[in-house]
Amino acid sequence: MMMISTLIKSLTLFLCLALSVGFYTLVERKVLSYAQLRKGPNKAGFLGIPQPLADAMKLFTKETTKIQKSMFILYNISPVLATSIMFITWMLYNTPANQNTIIKLSIMLFIVISSLNVYTIMLSGWASNSKYALLGAIRAVAQTISYEISMALLIMSILLISLNFNMEKTSISQMPTLWMMFILPLIFSAWMITMLAETNRSPFDLAEGESELVSGFNIEYGSGEFALLFIAEYGSILFVTVLTATLMLKGSFNTINLTQMVKIMTLAFTFLWVRATFPRMRYDALMSLTWKTFLTLTICSVTMLITHNNI
Amino acid sequence: MMLSMTHMVCAITFTSLLFLVIQMLGSSPYSSRNKNTPFECGFDPKDSARLPFSMRFFLLAVIFLIFDIEVALLFPLILSLKMKMIKSSILTSSLFLIILMLGLIHEWKEGSLSWIK
**What is the ipTM score, two decimals?**
0.85
Cβ pair A40, A48 in contact under 8 A? yes
Residue A171 placed within a domain: yes
Average predicted confidence (pLDDT) for chain A: 85
If you average pLDDT over residues A228-255, what whole number do you get? 86
Above pLDDT 70, what percent of chain A?
94
Which residues of A, range 173-212, sit inside 8 Å of B by Cβ? none
Which residues of B, range 32-51, sit inside 8 Å of A by Cβ? 33, 35-41, 45, 49-51
Residue A284 placed within a domain: yes
Q: Which helix (H) or strand (E) holds A142?
A: helix A131-162
If you average pLDDT over residues A180-207, what whole number do you get? 86
Residue A121 placed within a domain: yes
Q: pLDDT by residue (tens digit) across A54-66?
A: 888 888 888 887 7
Residue A40 placed within a domain: no
Residue A175 has pLDDT above 90, yes or no: no
Residue A125 placed within a domain: yes
| Distance from C-alpha of A144 to C-alpha of A147, rounded to nearest angstrom | 5
Those residues whose C-beta lies under 8 Å from the C-beta of residue A228, and which sit 6 or more positions away, are A79, A80, A82, A83, B15, B18, B19, B22
What is residue A5's predicted lDDT score, i.e. its pLDDT?
Answer: 80
Residue A311 has pLDDT above 60, yes or no: no
Residue A252 has pLDDT above 90, yes or no: no
If you average pLDDT over residues B65-86, what whole number do you get? 86
- The total domain count for chain A is 1
Which residues of A, range 271-300, sit inside 8 Å of B by Cβ? 283-284, 287-288, 291-292, 295-296, 299
Residue A7 has pLDDT above 80, yes or no: yes
Label residue A280 by pLDDT band (50, 70, 90): confident
Residue A119 placed within a domain: yes
Residue B67 has pLDDT above 60, yes or no: yes
Residue A69 has pLDDT above 70, yes or no: yes
Domain that holds residue A202: 72-310
DSSP, res B36: H
Residue A84 has pLDDT above 90, yes or no: yes
Specify the 3-state DSSP secondary structure of A35: helix
pTM of the predicted model as reported, rounded to 2 decimal places: 0.89
Cβ pair B82, A163 in contact under 8 A? yes
Residue A43 placed within a domain: no
Specify the 3-state DSSP secondary structure of A140: helix
Instruction: Nearest by CB to B78, from A130, A145, A163: name it.
Output: A163
Instruction: Nearest by CB to A220, from B39, B60, B77: name it.
Output: B39
| Residues on chain A touching B4 (C-beta within 8 angstroms) | 91, 100-101, 103
Of B5 and A118, which is predicted with more confidence?
A118
Indicate yes or no: CB of A138 within 8 angstroms of CB of B100.
no
Instruction: Nearest by CB to B22, from A2, A66, A224: name it.
Output: A224
| Residues on chain B touching A159 (C-beta within 8 angstroms) | 78
Length, in residues, of chain B = 117
What is residue A253's predicted lDDT score, i.e. its pLDDT?
Answer: 67
Indicate yes or no: CB of B93 within 8 angstroms of CB of A306.
yes
Buried b / exposed e along A259-289 (16+ C-beta atoms within 10 A)? ebeebbeebbeebbebbeeeeebebeebbbb
| Residues on chain B touching A291 (C-beta within 8 angstroms) | 104, 107-108, 113
The burial class, CB within 10 Å (0-12 / 13-18 / 19+), for A47 is exposed
3-state SS string for A218-264: HCCCCHHHHHHHHHHHHHHHHHHHHHHHHHHCCCCCCCCCHHHHHHH
Q: Cα(first)–Cα(last) distance of chain B, in Å?
A: 51
| Distance from C-alpha of A96 to C-alpha of A78, rounded to nearest angstrom | 32
| Distance from C-alpha of A167 to C-alpha of B7, rounded to nearest angstrom | 19
DSSP codes joined into one string, A176-224: SSS-HHHH-HHHHHHHHHHHHHHTT-GGG-TTT-HHHHTTGGGTT--HH
| Distance from C-alpha of B12 to C-alpha of A235, rounded to nearest angstrom | 15
Label residue B42 by pLDDT band (50, 70, 90): low
Asked if B5 has any chain A CB less than 8 Å from its own CB, the reply is no
Residue B117 has pLDDT above 70, yes or no: no
Those residues whose C-beta lies under 8 Å from the C-beta of residue A262, and which sit 6 or more positions away, are none
Residue A56 placed within a domain: no
| Distance from C-alpha of B34 to C-alpha of A138, rounded to nearest angstrom | 26
What is residue A152's predicted lDDT score, i.e. its pLDDT?
Answer: 92
Which residues of A, range 37-96, sit inside 8 Å of B by Cβ? 60-70, 76, 79-80, 83-84, 87-88, 91
